[in-house]
Copies of this chain bind each other. A is one copy, B any other.
Amino acid sequence: MQKQNLLEVYDRIEPYVHNTPVMVSSAINQIIGTSVYFKCENFQRAGAYKIRGATNAMLLLTHAQRKNGVVTHSSGNFAQAVALAAKSLDITAHIVMPSSAPEIKRVGVREYGGHIYKCEPTLAARQAMADEIGQKTSATFLHPSNDENVIMGQGTAALELLREEPKLRFIFCPVGGGGLIAGSSLAAIHFGINCQVIGGEPFEADDAYRSLISGEIEGNDTANTIADGLKTTLGDKNFPIIKKHVSKIIRVTENEIIAAMRLVWERMKIIIEPSSAVTVAALLRDASEFPEVYRNKKVGIIISGGNVDLNNLPF
């Protein structure tokens, strides 16, 4: 049923998204001691996987809903994705963005024709402003991660990766709001062969790590991390999926994130954002701690995006 759903979602969004390339790097394989397959969603439309879920959710709106537009809040990548998907489907997009969002992501939203509303950089302020806009305009609220249709859409990146590399033993995903890792874990169960999904999270925003331990959705008191996409917390739609299917979450330091980002930029010549470097750092950490677990195994990594503010690099 879920498997059939995922395939339907994939067929639905396929005309609107790129089937992004899977890249390998012999230098990085040598460093990690395993075979790593990078699913390059940094090459996706609008520079991140988010367009998958946004497109799926919007294609499922009724005609009347489409006419009233959509509203969302996002620190950046989902904002751009909604703006671009809305443009493709001729829907009005209202986007609430925290004042702390990287300038490049605001520029992207503006270029795609989204209406931007700036708010204080807290989850409460974001949600309050989005609710207000929804009431005024009757726009449908799209949650960036805690929405079944969004979750299923995000899962199609792992689905494509597994079709290309069916024997992956692990798939690493970053954990922010939980949509990507929840969707990826569904894809891994239905399309993988004993494929485990592992999360990567900054120590500075390790809410998902703590949520898996406590069994409840935990928040972050602060989230002082360079991985600007991973400051959000899990939701009631994705947490049950994550609890059931994600085998572990590995936390990494800010220095590990920056070093992993530099490693991929220098060795693979591709631009990945800090939130994606978290996942690479998590694999580097785990493979150095448990080399025997990864030896001769195929490991997938969802490189979630490549939207970096070049005026504000960590090196």
Chain A residues within CB distance 8 Å of chain B? 21, 42-43, 47, 104, 262, 265-266, 268-272, 306, 310-311, 313, 315
Residue contact B315 to A269, C-beta cutoff 8 Å? no
Contact B310 A265 (CB under 8 A): yes
Residue among B43, B271, B311, B313 making CB contact with A271, cutoff 8 Å:
B271
User: Which residue on B lies nearest to A315, using beta carbons?
Assistant: B310
B269 with A47: CB separation less than 8 A? yes
Q: In the complex this chain forms, how many copies of it are found? A: 2
In the bound complex, residues from chain B placing their C-beta under 8 Å from that of A310 are 262, 265-266, 313, 315
Residues of B within 8 A of A311 (CB): 315
Least distance between A127 CB and chain B CB atoms (Å):
30
What is the minimal beta-carbon distance from A219 to any residue of chain B, in angstroms? 32
CB distance from A166 to the nearest CB of B (A): 22
Q: Give the complex CA separation of A306 and B265 in angstroms.
A: 9
- A244 to B133 CA separation, bound complex (whole angstroms): 65
Q: Which residues does chain B contribute within 8 Å of A271, judged by CB atoms?
A: 265, 269-271
10 extra interface residue pairs, beta carbon distance < 8 Å, beyond A47-B269, A269-B272: A262-B310, A265-B271, A265-B310, A266-B310, A269-B271, A269-B306, A270-B270, A310-B313, A310-B315, A311-B315
Min CB distance A180 to B, Å, is: 18
Q: How far is the CA of A43 from the CA of B21 in the complex (A)?
A: 13
How far is it, in angstroms, between the C-alpha of A306 and the C-alpha of B268 when the chains are bound?
Answer: 9
* Cα-based distance from A21 to B22 in the complex (angstroms): 11
A310 CA to B265 CA, complexed, in Å: 9
Question: Nearest chain-B residue to A27 (Cβ)?
Answer: B111
List the B residue with the shortest CB-CB distance to A108. Answer: B266
Cα–Cα, bound, A266→B103 (Å): 12
CA distance A266 to B104 in the complex (A): 9
Task: Kindly state the separation between the CA atoms of A42 and B266 in the bound complex, as whole angstroms.
Answer: 11
Q: Which residue of B lies closest to A262 (CB)?
A: B310
A-B pairs with beta carbons under 8 Å apart, 21 shown = A21-B21, A42-B269, A43-B268, A43-B269, A47-B269, A104-B266, A262-B310, A265-B271, A265-B310, A266-B310, A269-B270, A269-B271, A269-B272, A269-B306, A270-B270, A270-B271, A271-B271, A310-B313, A310-B315, A311-B315, A313-B313
- A42 contacts which chain B residues (CB < 8 A)? 269
Name the distance in Å between A123's Cβ and chain B's nearest Cβ: 28
Q: How far is the CB of A277 from chain B (nearest CB, A)?
A: 13
Q: Which residues of B contact A47 (CB under 8 A)?
A: 269
| Shortest Cβ gap from A167 to chain B (Å) | 23
Chain B residues lying within 8 Å of A266, measured Cβ to Cβ, are: 104, 310
Cα(A43)–Cα(B23), bound, Å? 10
Question: For A21, what are the chain B residues with a Cβ–Cβ distance below 8 Å?
Answer: 21
Interface hub of A42, A265, A270, A313 (most chain B Cβ within 10 A): A270
* Nearest CB in chain B to that of A311: its residue: B315
